[in-house]
Amino acid sequence: MLSAIYLRLSRDEENRGVEEVLYSHRNALVKLAEKNNLHFEIYEEVSSGMDTERPQLNKLLENLPDYDYVLVMDIDRLTRDNIQAEQIKRIFILNDIKILTPSGEIDFNNESNDLLFSFSSLLANYEWKQIRKRMGRGRLAAAAQGKWVMSNKVPLGYNKNEEKKLVIREDEARIIKFIFEKTIKGYSSNRIARELDALKWRSRQGKVLTTSHISILRKNDVYYGCVSMKRRVNGKVVDEVFVENAHEGIVTKQEFFEAQRVVGEKNREFRQKGIATRKLHGLIYCNCCGRKRYIQKDGNGTEFLKTCSYKIDNNKCEDRGHKYLPIEEAVIKAVQNLRPQLEQSLERLKTRDTSTIEKTLMEQKTDLQNSLNRVNKRSKNLAIMRSDGEITKQEFEELRNEVNEQIQNIEQQIELINMQRENVLNTDQEQERLERILFTLNDFSDLENGEVNAFLKMIIKKINFSSNMSSSHDTKVDRVEPTISIEFHKKI
């Protein structure tokens, strides 16, 4: 019988000596295979048990139908993730594969073994969470010493030395200096991106530096020598560290904050091309016929909304005019009332750990892609079985329909995850947009009419207005409450 030996060393065990631990595990499992008269093939790698992007494990799962047993030192060597554990268990059950460890055999046809596997997986996941907590506290302590431990990805412009301190990388540092220099001169992120592209200066991965990338880079305080880190529990910040002079800055502290001042001022520039003299210019539409309403002044200089007189199917819309100022005040009040909602949305975005969400989505996508590969392989096997006469035509068609349904279902799930990832990747831009809106709302009274109009057009699609009265020269008729409804853009 043929078996597969799977060896995984966790990254947090590397300080024990990779080769030494792998040799010990390999030797134990080889002896176990020989004891049970099993021929074997070996798969080994260094990776976290929560990482689903493990090439050797994925290769093993693809080749699983070739084996009778899988040998591991313990269940947590396969995975520490509960979801993936159940997926692996299903695959083993479908292929009638048994697990063999130094502690004993797990046969999923045995209910108690099935329960043992699930229970062991839960314990492994709990242990991983405890390890993660300890590592989080350890990383926070390291950050307090000025070390870069926030992620394995080192910021553009720096390398990390053996002491985990950031050191300047000159070929990339010139890009950062250029971005801050041009920002201080008032260049937009779009213009900076174009000039960097013209110079053929690229990211570390060789990609074009986009507008959003530049906006993020020039807000990163790491570039004047800071290390900052936050530890979150259930999305809430429970501890944080901020250390200045942790490493040599690419720009000075003065240059960094001057750039923030310039960016802040530019964010207030919600100006139209051309001058709008009224805050609601071009935004008011008739609630009766849907056509645009216009503002004029009477002989006394009072601004008013003109009576609507558009023809619809030979019938004239006669919605009466109205004083303009009460409409403007009502709309401004409604916009100001958005503040709590916007602040809550911004807070949710700030506390959202997008890196974890994105990693989870990528893990789910990898699982689904692996499942899709296996189902596609099953589809091919069905065709071979039919051609060899192992199954009847009716059996083939029933199984093929079942497989095609599985394929369609998995592909739909992958498409959904792609959409969710796109939303996650837009989080930084959305946070910046909400910050700009709230910043403007705070200084609303200091803005010119044209600036307010440009800002309102960013968040309002249109304002539907009706006086709820027909135009008439009768000045004695009782006035009724007008209708003012605001259609905000979908992002609000």
Q: Which domain holds residue 236?
A: 145-266
Residues 471 and 357 in one domain: yes
Looking at the structure of the chain, the number of domains it has is 3
Nearest to 368 by CA among 52, 109, 26: 52
Dihedral, CA atoms, 405, 411, 416, 420, nearest 10 degrees?
150
Residues 189 and 329 in one domain: no
Out of 130-139, 176-185, 342-351, 377-386, give the one with best mean pLDDT: 176-185
Residues 423 and 379 in one domain: yes
**Of the ranges 52-56, 125-129, 436-440, which one carries the lowest mean pLDDT score?**
125-129
Q: What is the pTM of this model?
A: 0.36
d(CA 293, CA 285): 5
Residues 480 and 457 in one domain: yes
Residues 353 and 481 in one domain: yes
207-252: pLDDT as tens digits? 888 887 888 899 899 999 998 877 665 556 656 778 889 899 999 9
Residues 295 and 251 in one domain: no
Residues 238 and 214 in one domain: yes
Which of 219, 234, 266 is a domain's end point?
A: 266
Which of 115, 139, 163 is a domain's end point?
A: 139
Q: Which CATH number fits the domain that encloses residue 223?
A: 3.90.1750.20
Residues 274 and 200 in one domain: no
Kindly list the distances between the CA atom of residue 292 and the CA atoms of 76, 302, 311, in Å, as whole numbers in the listed order.
Answer: 66, 20, 13
283-323: pLDDT as tens digits? 999 988 888 888 888 778 888 888 887 766 667 788 888 89
Residues 221 and 134 in one domain: no
Contacts of 55 (CB under 8 A, 6+ apart): 45
Residues 259 and 282 in one domain: no
Cα angle 248, 254, 260 (rounded to 5 degrees) comes to 105
Q: Which CATH number fits the domain that encloses residue 116?
A: 3.40.50.1390
Q: Give yes or no for a contact between 248 and 168, defined as CB atoms under 8 angstroms apart.
A: yes
Residue that is written with structure tokens 């974890």 in the block: 356
pLDDT at 12: 47
Three-class SS of 153-202: CCCCCEEECCCCCEEECHHHHHHHHHHHHHHHCCCCHHHHHHHHHHCCCE
Q: Give yes or no for a contact between 125 and 81, defined as CB atoms under 8 angstroms apart.
A: yes
Which of 85, 107, 139 is a domain's end point?
A: 139
Residues 158 and 224 in one domain: yes
Residues 6 and 129 in one domain: yes
